[in-house]
């Protein structure tokens, strides 16, 4: 292979650009940028200051994130890790810092025993609110600090629980602390817990952005779990919290589903939030809901619209801006808020710009600050006007990519399951001019309610796979998001039906077009993609090899996962009930048909798909004396995130494909 291709090592040398945060006038922005040291096996996030087309780093060799401009734009609050030589209890936790932007050294503001997250300025510019965790029944900071010290020094590390929900992703929730909202007065340095004794679980995957402060500074709105232990249901709710010391009040209990991400309108009259109705269908479309503060009424704004809103913010009192997936792209939309609130359901959002993938929208100065990426370009800072004009403001990755020969991408549609049109991305080996009978590699996305969009992926880089000489196919099969609610929902209880048909029909289409070599084909996928690989293994032997990363292999034992409410509808049954329905599309039931050599990879700290799923698949292969290879990372979760582990992961996958293809 030529040296000027996308390699795993190059992926870790490229900077990773976070979401830009503009000042109130939209003239300046701060963006976190993470670079990695492969040898040290760690990353460093610096904050960069952008103004008048110039960018400069304003933080040094200690990772910093979560920037927030003061209302007057003269100071920056941010969260920073402690230096490595600080050995005090809790020093490894992130703390709140303050930096003057007209010159001067940053100042550390907090010593919270369990750290700080997501700072927001109050409108008066004299106080900063933030999230910090507190142990239940140890509500004061000295008590939480003492409890943290006791737990650290205790020789007993047992977990105990009687809850249904007790661990999440890669850590235990049982006996863990609860996030509280605090406010710090910058003049007096008095710290106040705004939610004393609150026992509500805040969003665990996306803590940042889960709350907002009213324009007058008299109230906070936040989202947290509104169901109580033992958590037989997991519904989130939106709460209003007055800063006069009163108890938080849930305003979204009118819905039988979940509510999330509250945002105050600039005039303070409304709270905008998102609502989902079906707990069992986690990709149920997110509807925008307006809550009028004075009257307590709720207006569902986008019920008739068949897309799912995300990252919504007010541009002004009359306009809401947000993103939504649409046919493998993440487009930016606006909604005439005043008209939609007056005539709910009659007005659809307006598409501002589509193409590539926009993320992290933050309006200021009449434009939208965001990042833009696509299958050939990592994310960079951009602004978008309401007329759809995109202007780029950073080129962090350009120096390293300038001489790299990348794959050409092509978007195609083919006839999939039930005669429906199904979308697929194709990436051709870079530099290959004769596009006939190429070795085919299907990359199968997870979810299943996800999408292989026109976006740059670090862990499953289609460019890196194509650089190995493969025609890479990314099929957005039935169940994928971005083609409407029903297209995503239609595979509930039938995980192995339409998606499998779509992959097979895509393969047939590529062979018929003369693009794929039927003697050299493989499939690789992670999470649900790994499930589908395991299902394929029991249905056909047309592929030369398979790669199954963190895949579900046994729907019954998958009940050991972290979140179980509603899973019987997704999987088709439950171990104590409709076992026939559950086993209808259960890969392990068909393991007697396994023939195709399979590479099986998993992280031992994976609680979403417990790594015993990998052991079941591998043991089924080896017990039948079939070709298989097992790779387990003891220090990784559902994703392989450490630089050296990830490079090793790519090496294992590339070697397996080369061995059998």
Average of per-residue pLDDT across 230-244: 95
Give me the mean pLDDT over the 118-146 stretch.
97
Q: How confident is the model at residue 206 (pLDDT cuts 50, 70, 90)?
A: confident
Give the residue-averaged pLDDT of 349-368: 96
What's the DSSP call for residue 293?
T
The candidate with the shortest Cα–Cα distance to 661, out of 508, 429, 439, is 439
pLDDT score recorded for residue 432: 87
User: What average pLDDT does range 177-189 have in this prediction?
Assistant: 97
- Model confidence at 433, pLDDT cuts 50, 70, 90, reads confident
pLDDT score recorded for residue 86: 60
Q: What 8-state DSSP symbol labels residue 590? A: G
Of 284, 185, 208, 626, nearest in space to 489 by CA: 284
**Integer Cα distance of 659 and 661 in angstroms:** 6
Q: Classify residue 484 as exposed, middle or buried by CB count within 10 Å of its CB (0-12, 13-18, 19+).
A: middle
Whether the model pTM is above 0.85: yes
List the strands of the sheet with 258-264, edge to edge. 258-264, 270-276, 287-292, 298-300
pLDDT at 103: 85
Query: Tell me: the pLDDT tens digits for 383-412?
Result: 999 999 999 999 999 999 999 999 999 999
Task: Tell me which DSSP letter residue 572 carries.
Answer: T
Predicted local distance difference test score (pLDDT) of residue 345: 78
90 pLDDT above the threshold of 60 = no
pLDDT of residue 167: 95
Q: What local confidence, expressed as pLDDT, does residue 91 receive? A: 56
- Bridge partners for 264 per DSSP: 271
* pLDDT, position 275: 97
Distance CA 137, CA 159 (A): 17
- CATH 3.40.50.1820 boundaries in the chain: 406-660
DSSP 383: E
CA distance 25 to 33: 22
pLDDT in tens, 276-304: 998 889 899 999 999 999 999 999 999 99
Asked if residue 337 has a cis previous peptide bond (ω within 30° of 0), the answer is: no
pLDDT score, position 380: 98
Interior CA angle at 458 toward 8 and 328, to 5°?
A: 135
Q: Which residues, listed in sequence order, are joined to residue 95 by a DSSP beta bridge? A: 80
Tens of pLDDT along 604-625? 999 999 999 999 999 999 999 9
In 527-648, beta strands by DSSP E? 545-549, 598-603, 628-633
**Which pLDDT belongs to residue 278?**
87
Residue in 532, 536, 580 with CA at minimum distance from that of residue 556: 580
How much is the mean pLDDT over the chain? Answer: 95
DSSP labels, 17-42: E---EE-TTSSEEEEEEEEEETTTTE
Q: Where in the chain is the domain with CATH 2.120.10.30?
A: 202-355
The CATH classification number of 202-355 equals 2.120.10.30
Task: Provide, rounded to the nearest whole percent, the portion of the chain with pLDDT above 90.
Answer: 92
CA 191 to each of CA 109, 132, 151, 182: distance values in angstroms, whole numbers, following the listed order: 10, 12, 25, 7
Task: List residues bridging with 48 in a β-sheet.
Answer: 31, 57
- Per-residue confidence (pLDDT) for residue 175, from 0 to 100: 87
pLDDT at 245: 83
Q: Report the topology of domain 406-660.
A: Rossmann fold (3.40.50)
Q: What are φ and ψ of residue 560, in 5° steps?
A: -85, 0
Instruction: Give the model's confidence band at 25: pLDDT under 50 very low, under 70 low, under 90 confident, else very high.
Output: very high
User: Residue 592 and residue 602: Cα distance in Å, rounded?
Assistant: 22
Average pLDDT over residues 252-262: 94
| pLDDT of the residue at 118 | 98
DSSP line for 148-206: HHHHHH-S--------S--EETTEE-TT--EEEEEEEETTT--EEESSTT---PPPSS-
Mean pLDDT of 20-26: 97
Kindly list the distances between the CA atom of residue 254 and the CA atoms of 85, 257, 302, in Å, as whole numbers in the listed order.
51, 9, 17
Give CA–CA dist 34/46, Å, rounded: 6
Q: What's the pLDDT tens digit per position in 55-87?
A: 999 999 999 999 999 999 999 999 999 876 665
Give the residue-averaged pLDDT of 37-45.
97
- Give per-residue burial for 63-87: e unless 16+ CB within 10 Å, then b: bbbbbbbbeebebbbbbbbbeeeee
Phi first, then psi, for residue 311 (nearest 5°) are 55, 35
CA distance 231 to 250: 17
Q: Which residues pair with 392 in a beta bridge?
A: 382
């Amino acid at each position: 292979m030529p040296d000027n291709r996308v390699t795993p090592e190059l992926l870790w040398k490229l900077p990773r650009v976070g979401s830009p945060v503009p000042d109130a006038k939209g003239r300046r922005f701060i963006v976190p940028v993470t670079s990695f040291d492969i040898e040290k096996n760690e990353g460093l996030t610096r904050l960069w200051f952008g103004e008048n087309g110039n960018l400069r780093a304003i933080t040094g060799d200690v990772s910093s994130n979560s920037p927030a401009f003061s209302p007057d734009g003269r100071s920056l609050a941010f969260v920073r890790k402690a230096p490595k030589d600080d050995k005090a209890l809790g020093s490894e936790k992130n703390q709140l810092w303050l930096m003057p932007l007209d010159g001067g050294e940053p100042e550390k503001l907090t010593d919270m025993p369990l750290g700080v997250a997501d700072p927001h300025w109050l409108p008066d510019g004299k106080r900063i609110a933030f999230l910090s965790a507190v142990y239940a029944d140890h509500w004061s900071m000295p008590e939480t600090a003492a409890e943290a010290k006791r737990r650290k020094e205790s020789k007993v590390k047992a977990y105990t629980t009687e809850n249904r929900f007790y661990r999440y992703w890669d850590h235990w929730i049982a006996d863990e602390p609860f996030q509280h909202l605090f406010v710090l007065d910058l003049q007096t340095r008095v710290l106040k817990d705004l939610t004393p004794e609150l026992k509500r679980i805040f969003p665990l995957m996306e803590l940042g952005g889960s709350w907002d402060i009213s324009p007058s500074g008299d109230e906070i709105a936040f989202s947290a779990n509104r169901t109580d232990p033992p958590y037989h249901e997991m519904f989130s709710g939106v709460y209003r919290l007055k800063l006069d010391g009163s108890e938080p009040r849930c305003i979204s209990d009118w819905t039988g589903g979940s509510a999330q991400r509250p945002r105050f309108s600039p005039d303070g009259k409304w709270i905008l939030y998102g609502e989902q109705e079906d707990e069992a269908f986690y990709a149920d479309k997110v509807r925008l809901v307006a809550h009028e503060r004075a009257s307590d009424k709720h207006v569902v704004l986008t019920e008739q619209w068949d897309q799912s809103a995300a990252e919504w913010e007010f541009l002004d009192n009359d306009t809401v801006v947000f993103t939504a997936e649409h046919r493998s792209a993440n487009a930016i939309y606006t909604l005439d808020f005043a008209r939609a609130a007056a005539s709910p359901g009659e007005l659809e959002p307006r598409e501002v710009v589509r193409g590539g993938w926009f993320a992290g929208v933050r309006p200021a100065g009449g434009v939208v600050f965001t990042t833009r990426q696509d299958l050939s370009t990592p994310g960079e800072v951009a602004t978008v006007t309401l007329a759809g004009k995109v202007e780029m403001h950073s080129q962090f990755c350009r120096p390293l990519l300038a001489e790299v020969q990348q794959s050409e991408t092509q978007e195609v549609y083919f006839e999939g399951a039930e005669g429906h049109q199904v979308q697929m991305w194709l990436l051709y080996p870079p530099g290959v001019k004769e596009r006939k009978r190429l070795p085919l590699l299907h990359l199968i996305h997870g979810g299943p309610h996800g999408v292989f969009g026109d976006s740059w992926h670090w862990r499953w880089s289609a460019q890196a796979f194509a650089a190995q000489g493969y025609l890479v196919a990314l099929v957005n099969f039935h169940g994928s998001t971005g083609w409407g609610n029903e297209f995503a929902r239609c595979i509930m209880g039938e995980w192995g039906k339409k998606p499998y048909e779509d992959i097979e029909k895509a393969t047939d289409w590529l062979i018929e077009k003369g693009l794929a070599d039927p003697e050299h084909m493989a499939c690789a996928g992670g999470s649900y993609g790994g499930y589908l690989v395991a299902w394929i293994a029991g249905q056909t032997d047309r592929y030369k090899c398979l790669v199954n990363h963190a895949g579900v292999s046994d729907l019954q034992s998958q009940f050991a996962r972290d979140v179980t409410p509603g899973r019987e509808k997704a999987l088709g049954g439950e171990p104590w009930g409709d076992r026939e329905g559950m086993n209808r599309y259960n890969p392990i039931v068909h393991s007697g048909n396994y023939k195709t050599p399979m590479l099986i990879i998993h992280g031992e700290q994976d609680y979403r798909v417990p790594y015993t799923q990998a052991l079941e698949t591998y043991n089924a292969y080896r017990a039948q004396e079939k070709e298989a290879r097992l790779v387990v990372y003891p220090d990784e979760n559902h994703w392989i995130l450490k630089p050296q582990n990830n490079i090793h992961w790519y090496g294992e996958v590339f070697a397996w494909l080369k061995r059998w293809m």
